[in-house]
Chains A and B, each alone.
Chain A
Amino acid sequence: MPKPLLRPACCIGGLLPLVLCLAATPASAADNLSTLKQMSLDELADLRVSIATHRTERLEDTAAAVFVLTAEDIRRAGATTLPELLRTVPGLNVARISATEWAVSARGFNNQFANKLLVMVDGRSVYTPFFSGVLWDELNIVMQDIERIEVVRGPGGSTWGANAVNGVINILTRHAEDTQGSQVSVVAGPLQSELVARNGFKAGEAGFARVWAKAHQQDRLHMPADGDTADTRWRGGRAGFRGDWDLGSSTLMLEGETFREMKPDEREYSGAHLLGQWARTAGDSRDELRGYFNRFTLDRWAVMGNGAKAQLDTFDLSYRHLFAEWGMHSLIAGAGYRSVNSEAQMVPPSAVTRANRTDQLLSAFAEDTLSLAERLKLTLGVKVEDNDYTGIEWQPSARLRWTLGTGGTLWASVARAVRTPSIIEDSARFISFVAPSRLTGGLPMSVTSNGSAQLNAEKLTAYEMGYRIQLTPKLSVDATVFLNDYDRLVTVDMIGRPNLVPTPTPSLSWNAVTGNQLQGQAHGFELAADYRPAETWRLQASYAYLDLNLKARPGNSEISPLRAEGESPRHQASLISRHDLRHDLELDLQARYVSALTTYTIPDYLTADLRLGWRATSRLDLALNGRNLIGPARKEFGTNIVNASDAYLIPREYYLTANLRF
């Protein structure tokens, strides 16, 4: 993590607390002030001051590969969608597929349906159990209201449970007190437009609230083959609120949202959620209770056939307790319950065999941080979950952090994480048609793939080690190496040979079933550096290397691992420059290099984004943004659904943003 080793302390909702919330001991260092002087404004503003002692807590680095995007990073990235913003996070691989679709992953297995990255907003999971993965166009959040985004590369199963396999992204929205007053934001360009309005106000004596609404449109992109085959336009709107109340010894947060996103003839979603969060601090211990209801309706999704529909209602309740320190122990424990009620309707002959189902998930976790020696901390954690697909899953982790006398931090961890099967993998039947070709002997072929209730969870054992150090007041570096050992990865296994169906016209029919027939290893390393040549200039560089080697489990020689291996780049590099040219002018450059994706025969590329920001008045900010400025329009990814449309060309793009506060 290319930042000074200082982070906000225990915030409810944050994912950092569980990994790295370590109690601070009283100050002794005489050079506090010089450390503070090296911090940027937003880091200063993020420091927590303990009310009781009038002291801020310094939060040490964690024994994990963590990166934090602050509100200032988000503003200066100039991105209008989350995936575009996530391109600025070292080690994440982001590829755009169409106007509405992105592939986002860490440490391999990237895909339109990348299923090893858990994503949460204020503690609410937006990872859909329907097909395992994240619909990034559903998650069309208001960028101005994000407080920060915490990204962990590597497993987080011992804390967050299933599906936190290759990484966790936690998006935290702003406290309502921080969004008082009115704000209007506009994005305008040839390919996209957006309008966001927000009003913040006091809600009673001890509370604050905001209401907001957003409408947006992303224009069509084009296919590589002919300039006219275009994607359709993506439009959507949403509105919501958040309120925060200080109830003396406890705090209460309520938020809600309703939305509709649509892309005519292709996809249409709607949904709503309501979330409440209560926290109480008593002495050195703390209780946190969170509950939410989330409805997601898939009104249309052409890849599943016209007329396919699905609705998922999720109810989730979780509690955790942070115990006061006891001897060398610092313990956090909690429990949770989740129910997902789903109704799915497919277009015959495709079907979901259990169309209406209610799945329940019970979970409990404990995490103890032991201060083994003055500068050596060991965190042992385990989460156990009982799910309706694969039964009981244990996800333990051990993380060791050693603070060296030189000021560097060395850490190592071993952790296990699982991905549980989705509804589709468990019980859907899909028929897809393959056009006649030499491979099919000139005959048309239908492939029927069936879900299997016998699926096991995918399993990962991950070994990581990292080192980070503030080399000089202006330069910090961060290095991580990892070895991921995967087993029982979900596959679609062909059964026997294609059958010849003589009538009505000769064709081939081939059956397939989901299985757990793949295993393998990923290893790699990630480097990041953060250099601040001046108060007004910051440079961030990163490089990530990945080597993914998969193979069929013994006795399944027909499984081809090449597809997944070639879906993630072997090399990725980025350089970000954030320069304040004048007190009212900001110039931001984001350059990135991505190596070739063999699965989709996509060559490596280098491209860059630029942003010129102008603070026109105290309350009006304007910015001119250019994206993908180097080279021609290019494909960044492919699609992996038979008969589905191919990926689109991602063009160079310019847009203006304006932000008015009044």
Chain B
Amino acid sequence: MGFRLWLAPLIAVLAVLAHAAGPDPDATTFAENDVKAAFIYNFVHFVRWPDTTTHKPGDPFRYCVLDDTLAPLLAKALAGESVDGHALIVMRQPELRNVHECQILYLGEQATLGGLSQTELLRRIASQPILTVSDQSNFTARGGMIALIRKRGRIHPVINTDATDRTELRVSAKLLNLATLVRDSKGAAQ
């Protein structure tokens, strides 16, 4: 048991050093909505939009967020970020007639646009290159593309590949391999 002799001075030294002030990194935990915001932020890197929507240089890349909780979090996450010269911005209240300007559309549970139900809205924009995202478990069954659902204590993406394949959007292998894939016919996320 000689190691205890070796250990004692080490503990003593480190105990003294540990009083050096600084934030306690143990105190860092993550809220569920922060994790969702980080996921949505990341989608810009793991989905390809058709060249026709990568408009003029200088145009922003729009995250349209119809959710009062996530919108400020995403605004914070996107602040100062850009991809290929396009600033990433959050639009909180897009008009229905302008919805085609959204590259990502996040629909919270209560979200409506132009008086349409979410199912009607999803049907109307089904062929447009707009990545539709939500955290509602039945979202993919209603024609939505990506649902971020909580599964065994983790945030897990469910992707309706029929919905993405109807558009010119192309989801990366990394995201597809991570996700649960569903189709329209049995699109209910567990």
Contacts and interface: CB of A to CB of B under 8 A. Distances in A.
B181 A621 contact: no
Contacts of B171: 583, 618
Given A55-B30, A463-B3, A615-B172, A400 B153 contact: no
Interface of B, secondary structure class, is helix
B120 interface: no
B22 A535 contact: no
B25 A180 contact: no
Contacts of B45: 535-536
B29 A57 contact: yes
Given A36-B38, A405-B20, A72 B32 contact: no
A29 B28 contact: yes
A553 interface: no
Given A33-B76, A404-B22, A405-B23, A583 B48 contact: yes
A402 B23 contact: no
A178 B180 contact: yes
Contacts of B156: 45
Contacts of A49: 30, 32, 35, 150, 153-155
A32 interface: yes
B10 A400 contact: yes
A20 to B, nearest CB: 12
A262 to B, nearest CB: 32
Interface string B2-45: 01101100110011011111111111111110110111011001
Interface in A37-94: 37, 39, 41-42, 44-51, 54-58, 60, 71-72, 75
A378 interface: yes
A45 B10 contact: no
B152 interface: yes
Nearest to A46: B154
A25 interface: yes
A34 B79 CA distance: 10
Contact of B153 (A51, A72, A374, A410): A51
- Across the A-B interface, give the 9 residue pairs with the lowest CB-CB distance, nearest first: A405-B22, A36-B38, A583-B48, A615-B173, A618-B161, A56-B30, A414-B3, A535-B45, A376-B18
B145 to A, nearest CB: 11
Nearest to A200: B180
A621 B177 contact: yes
Contacts of B155: 44-45, 47, 49
Contacts of B10: 400, 412
A225 B100 CA distance: 69
Interface of A: 5, 8, 22, 24-29, 32-37, 39, 41-42, 44-51, 54-58, 60, 71-72, 75, 175, 177-178, 180-181, 202, 208, 372-376, 378, 398, 400, 402-407, 410, 412, 414, 461, 463, 535-536, 580, 582-584, 586, 613, 615, 617-619, 621, 661
Interface residues of B, number: 62
Interface of B: 3-4, 6-7, 10-11, 14-15, 17-32, 34-35, 37-39, 41-42, 45-48, 73, 76-77, 150-157, 159, 161, 164-165, 170-178, 180-181, 190
A58 B14 CA distance: 23
Contact of A33 (B34, B151, B164, B180): B34
Contact of A180 (B4, B14, B177, B190): B190
A375 B154 contact: no
B177 A35 contact: no
B27 to A, nearest CB: 5
Given A49-B154, A49-B155, A55-B30, A583 B21 contact: no
- For B29, B35, B77, B178, the residue with the greatest tally of chain A CB atoms inside 10 Å of its CB is B29
A436 to B, nearest CB: 50
Contacts of A619: 161, 176, 181
B170 A58 contact: no
B38 A39 contact: yes
A252 B4 CA distance: 41
Nearest to A50: B153
Nearest to B49: A583
Contact of B31 (A39, A54, A175): A54
B50 to A, nearest CB: 11
B130 to A, nearest CB: 17
A159 B25 CA distance: 26
